[in-house]
Chain A
Amino acid sequence: MAGKIPRIEAREQDPQTRRTNFQEVCLGYTADEAMLEATRCLQCRNPKCVSACPVNIRIPAFIAATAQGRFAEAAEIIALDSCLPAVCGRVCPQETQCEGLCILGVRGQAVNIGKLERFVADYSREHEPVVLHTAPANGRRVAIVGSGPAGLSCAHDLAKNGYAPTIFEALHKAGGVLEYGIPEFRLPKETVVKSEIDNLKKAGVRIETNVIIGRTLTVDALLNDEAFDAVFIASGAGLPKFMHIPGENLNGVVSANEFLTRTNLMRAYDAAYDTPVYTGRRVAVVGGGNVAMDAARSALRLGADVTVVYRRTEKELPARVEEVHHAKEEGVAFRMLANPVAVLDDGRGWVRGLRCVRMELGEPDESGRRSPTVVEGSEFELEADTVIMALGTSPNPLIASTTEGLAIDRRGCIVADEHGTTSRKGVFAGGDTVTGAATVILAMGAGRRAAAAIRRFLSEPDDARRQTD
């Protein structure tokens, strides 16, 4: 029977309406839709979806409970492995993870695991909030640097097992990329992010905002002066990259990080807030990842015509298919096989456009993607009042440069193994600060593995831990 019911897609705000507001695009399932979709799950004995999930959520079990309308129980099952289900149900790339390995997907359409998770999390928040499990305090204190997905999930697993985690956040709000990076229309801040973080606080996770590790306190100060037993560094992706082309410092050229931080964390789209953000009439977004899509769709909502400029073709776009689809529906234009070579000055120090060259795809490179090469004599101009550079990030040197003996790799990322173990005893690291910019869920997985490693480390006898620093 499962195979006969078509996959149920969640309802969405109409593209023409949503392109003018910052409310959530996806409206989610009703209870009936969720129960029906849940019946599609084959309840595999050896579920591949679970192993494809970076935090190994017991997917068939929560779906079985959902199918029977036992939503609160489904939420409890998810909470065993994830503290951010309402977040992950919204922003995980399920198509390459759990849903990507769903057996139904081989012949037909995978179970809509993401939307089910989202429904269960939302239901739980609105009706019967999950009480996260805690254990009696064991007296061990762990400092966590950064309140993004890696830090939060590490804190969750530690609190669950009786450890006392304190998260230090550099910004004035907890959440990391969930707050400053991902737009409100994909991930509502007050209803979703804040409530999931509040739930963690109830489970004993302390969060101190406005503390910049590497400046306000160093990692060594955390271990020595503030007497933490271990430190987990989850400080995120870092500094925005630029192209180093002429005109890049003209007024009107911003990084996606700046544009999104102004819009999300600083709520520039809301007139009640003092933060300015500038788009002008035409915005060009350079890049093709999820961040580029977020910037493009935000600029659209601020009233601009938006073109994404990308040097390969649609097939190579690193952004999720769903994000590209949404962007197109909303009216974002795409200029593929184009690469900026200069930002053009209007004569008064402001952007007037981009000079681009056309590209063609050559042989596949190491990453397997066909590398673009310039078509000779193909220069053209693209008008723009604002240029948003969404080219990725390079590591922030702040922590590495202020922590003696912490090894970094050639790119400047902190070196850590799969358990988050670094070159410094008692110092663990995970998430984007180790891998470079990746996804929310991968960072959460790193946070969980680090929590396990920290527990093992702290259960060693004291003298064994203190040796060989």
Chain B
Amino acid sequence: MGMSGVLPLFIRLYVVSKISFIFVTKTAIHLINFMSIQEKPEIVCARAAAGEGVEGLIIKKRKLAENIYLMAIYAPRIAKAALPGQFVIVRAGEYGERVPLTISDYDAVCGTVTLVTQVVGVSSRLICRKAKGERLTDIAGPLGRPSEFVHKTPDELKAVRWLFVGGGLGAAPVYPQVKWLHARGATVDVVVGAKSASLLLFRKEMQAVCSALHIVTDDGSAGQKGLVTDVVRRLVEEEGARYDRVVAIGPMIMMKFVAQLAQSYQLPSVVSLNTLMVDGTGMCGACRVTVGGKTQFACVDGPEFDGALVDFDEAMRRQTMYRPMETERYQATR
């Protein structure tokens, strides 16, 4: 590691310890920090590397899996304001769409927000093609309401037995939530699922901040073979695990089934809806969803809602509104 990496490491040590020193002993903090640094040796503090005035600069880019990339973006105001559960809108290129992306991590000291993007269409492909050192044309946020738990005290959070379920790309936005709770001493179990081992995201990062990590893949190439709901069922029905709250983030269909299962256990659930959006500030209404029989805007009323109340079938249908046009453009352009 060159000189450029030295200063930021100290800054990171300082921040993490400042947040969590009440809960853990100093030695433990250093151990945790040491581990997280070992996991991300390439992290370079954005302020040191970039200086002011280059909002949107890609400070770091890492391929996490086929077609899935992690990027740390220099956006100091967003990094400072961001809380778990929120998202940003980004645009790559003057002709690009405004794309909502849930924040996967943020670092107020370095001034960066971390985004994980999967190539699914023209716009996400444009974002993923940007290299380290290039800029996203626009980044705006943080948008949406933060997760409800950010308003609770550490004691309240510790009194809750949490279960987080992250499916596919959803593991990335689960991470800052688990990290927040862990830093406040809460006990959090996490289920991370993917199609196969190579598509599992944030495994190591998650390990460092949760009490128990359960891996599940469709093909059994890592962890249990099956779906995230199979793991939840096993934990609750076979192993007698007791939870007070489930948070599920992932594909709509996964959230639907996790919410249903949670309801069958009389367990409150929270889901984070990745709807269509244009402005992300409440202006367009493209993101409207039916929650408890009422129309809500995911961008300003959400993106997190009570899983038991969401009309998932409608939400899934609405996601496909522009799909034929998007597919056509994706195939027609390169």
Which residue numbers of A lie inside 8 Å of B, CB to CB?
170-172, 180, 209-212, 215-217, 236, 238-240, 242, 244, 248-249, 251-252, 254-255, 257-258, 261-262, 266-267, 272-276, 278, 349, 396-398
A266 to B318: give the CA distance in the assembly, Å. Answer: 20
- Interface pair B278/A266, CB less than 8 Å apart: yes
* Contact flag A398-B77 (CB < 8 Å), given A251-B317, A251-B318, A276-B322: no
B97 within 8 A of A: yes
A217 to B295: give the CA distance in the assembly, Å. Answer: 28
- Interface pair A274/B138, CB less than 8 Å apart: no
- Interface pair B297/A239, CB less than 8 Å apart: yes
- Interface pair A274/B122, CB less than 8 Å apart: yes
Q: Which of B59-67, B218-226, B251-259, B279-287 contacts A (4 or more CB under 8 A)?
A: B279-287
B55 within 8 A of A: yes
- Since A212-B281, A215-B81, A240-B283 are in contact, a sample of 8 more A-B pairs with Cβ atoms closer than 8 Å, ordered by chain A residue number, is A170-B279, A171-B279, A216-B78, A242-B295, A255-B286, A257-B285, A278-B325, A397-B300
Chain A CB within 10 Å, residue with most, of B81, B279, B320 = B279
- Interface pair A216/B325, CB less than 8 Å apart: no
Q: How far is the CB of A258 from chain B (nearest CB, A)?
A: 4
* Contact flag A170-B285 (CB < 8 Å), given A249-B295, A251-B318, A274-B96: no
- Interface pair B81/A238, CB less than 8 Å apart: no
Q: Which of A212, A251, A266 contacts B321 (CB 8 A)?
A: A251
- Interface pair B284/A258, CB less than 8 Å apart: yes
Q: Which of A212, A251, A257, A278 contacts B140 (CB 8 A)?
A: A212
Q: Report the number of A-B residue pairs with Cβ-Cβ less than 8 Å.
A: 112
Q: How far is the CB of A255 from chain B (nearest CB, A)?
A: 4
Q: Which residues of B contact A244 (CB under 8 A)?
A: 295
Q: Which residues of B contact A209 (CB under 8 A)?
A: 138, 140
- Interface pair A249/B290, CB less than 8 Å apart: yes
* Contact flag A216-B141 (CB < 8 Å), given A170-B281, A172-B91: yes
- Interface pair A254/B285, CB less than 8 Å apart: yes
Q: Which of B96, B140, B317, B326 contacts A216 (CB 8 A)?
A: B140
Q: Which of B95, B137, B284, B322 contacts A255 (CB 8 A)?
A: B284
A274 to B330: give the CA distance in the assembly, Å. Answer: 9
Q: Which residues of A contact B242 (CB under 8 A)?
A: none
* Contact flag A210-B55 (CB < 8 Å), given A239-B283, A261-B284, A266-B97: yes
Of all chain A residues, the one with the shortest Cβ separation from B333 is A274
Q: Which residues of B contact A254 (CB under 8 A)?
A: 285-286
Q: Which residues of A contact B284 (CB under 8 A)?
A: 240, 255, 257-258, 261
Q: Which residues of B contact A238 (CB under 8 A)?
A: 282-283
* Contact flag A262-B283 (CB < 8 Å), given A215-B143, A248-B295, A278-B325: no
- Interface pair B281/A249, CB less than 8 Å apart: no
Question: Could you show 17 A-B contacts with beta carbons less than 8 Å apart?
Answer: A180-B279, A209-B140, A210-B138, A210-B139, A211-B140, A216-B142, A240-B284, A240-B285, A248-B295, A249-B290, A251-B320, A251-B321, A254-B285, A254-B286, A261-B279, A267-B95, A396-B281
Q: Which residues of B contact A349 (CB under 8 A)?
A: 314, 317
Q: Which residues of A contact B320 (CB under 8 A)?
A: 251
A244 to B285: give the CA distance in the assembly, Å. Answer: 13
Q: How far is the CB of A349 from chain B (nearest CB, A)?
A: 4
A275 to B290: give the CA distance in the assembly, Å. Answer: 25
Q: Which residues of A contact B314 (CB under 8 A)?
A: 249, 349
Size class of B's contact patch? 35 or more
Of all chain A residues, the one with the shortest Cβ separation from B328 is A276
Q: Which residues of B contact A170 (CB under 8 A)?
A: 140, 279, 281
B302-334 interface code vs A (CB 8 A; 1 in, 0 out): 000000000000100110111001100100000
Q: Which residues of B contact A267 (CB under 8 A)?
A: 95
Of all chain B residues, the one with the shortest Cβ separation from A236 is B283
Of all chain A residues, the one with the shortest Cβ separation from B81 is A216
Q: How far is the CB of B226 from chain A (nearest CB, A)?
A: 30
A398 to B279: give the CA distance in the assembly, Å. Answer: 14
A449 to B242: give the CA distance in the assembly, Å. Answer: 61
B288 within 8 A of A: yes
Chain B CB within 10 Å, residue with most, of A240, A242, A248 = A240
Q: Which residues of A contact B78 (CB under 8 A)?
A: 216
A136 to B245: give the CA distance in the assembly, Å. Answer: 60
B193-226 interface code vs A (CB 8 A; 1 in, 0 out): 0000000000000000000000000000000000
* Contact flag A217-B77 (CB < 8 Å), given A251-B320, A276-B326: yes
A98 to B195: give the CA distance in the assembly, Å. Answer: 66
Q: Which residues of A contact B123 (CB under 8 A)?
A: 274
A150 to B282: give the CA distance in the assembly, Å. Answer: 20
- Interface pair A258/B140, CB less than 8 Å apart: no
- Interface pair A258/B325, CB less than 8 Å apart: no
Q: Which residues of B contact A210 (CB under 8 A)?
A: 55, 138-140
A395 to B98: give the CA distance in the assembly, Å. Answer: 23
* Contact flag A172-B137 (CB < 8 Å), given A216-B78, A249-B318, A254-B285: yes
Q: How far is the CB of B63 from chain A (nearest CB, A)?
A: 23
Q: Which residues of A contact B286 (CB under 8 A)?
A: 254-255, 258
A417 to B123: give the CA distance in the assembly, Å. Answer: 44
Q: Which residues of A contact B295 (CB under 8 A)?
A: 242, 244, 248-249
Chain B CB within 10 Å, residue with most, of A212, A236, A398 = A212
Q: Which residues of A contact B137 (CB under 8 A)?
A: 172
Of all chain B residues, the one with the shortest Cβ separation from A221 is B81
- Interface pair B322/A278, CB less than 8 Å apart: yes
Q: Which of A239, A242, A249 contacts B282 (CB 8 A)?
A: A239
* Contact flag A212-B141 (CB < 8 Å), given A266-B97, A276-B326: yes
- Interface pair A274/B329, CB less than 8 Å apart: yes
Q: How far is the CB of B253 from chain A (nearest CB, A)?
A: 15
A276 to B325: give the CA distance in the assembly, Å. Answer: 7
* Closest 8 pairs (CB-CB, A-B): A258-B284, A210-B140, A276-B325, A276-B322, A172-B138, A255-B285, A349-B317, A240-B285
Q: Which of A211, A278, A396 contacts B300 (CB 8 A)?
A: A396
Q: How far is the CB of A4 from chain B (nearest CB, A)?
A: 50
